Amino acid sequence: MIDGRPAVFLDRDGVLNEVRMDGESAASPRTLDEFHITSDAADSVQRLRTAGFEVVVITNQPDIARGLLDRTVVDAMHERLCTATDILNVEVCPHARGHGCPCRKPLPGMLHAASARLGLDLGSSWTVGDRWVDIAAGRAAGTRTVLVQRPWSWLSTSSGGPEPGLEPDVSVPDLADAVTVIVGSP
């Protein structure tokens, strides 16, 4: 067990892989054919690991609960992601809003679970995501936060809208820039 190691919690869709556009809305891929890992993902994860961070993916996947996505497809996506990027830990919330689940972002349950399982120090860790729910979960867990700015970052989700005053510590255009900020911070 790792004791007190810092981590970077990475959202999956829109950070490590491309989103699927559903009209004006960004959505999670539902098939392996739609699952495209970003060109900067592998290098970014390697830079974080070289800098001494544990890397943990935290992803809401409510389409599982809605019956729109089979868990075996999600597992295959994560196998592909872990192989391509050398990520070792993936936390998934398969619940839809209304299930009362403490792991569904914007709640910090996935970060707390990974921290307890891996012995991580949340106070020296970071959360990186492309939506306000990622920033809210990171804040609630006590991590510093980086927003990968997208047109949909502050739009309401099935969890509602962001709390007034919610802001990331840093906003960047992509994962590579997020890693540069994190690795360069004291």
* Catalytic residue ranges: 11, 13
Q: Which helix (H) or strand (E) holds 115?
A: helix 109-118
Structural Rg of the chain based on CA atoms: 15
Count helices and strands (H / E) in the chain. Answer: 5, 8
Tell me the helix, strand and coil percentages in the chain, rounded to 5: 35, 25, 45
Its sign, for the CA torsion 19, 21, 25, 27, is negative
* Residues 146 and 171: beta-carbon distance below 8 Å: yes
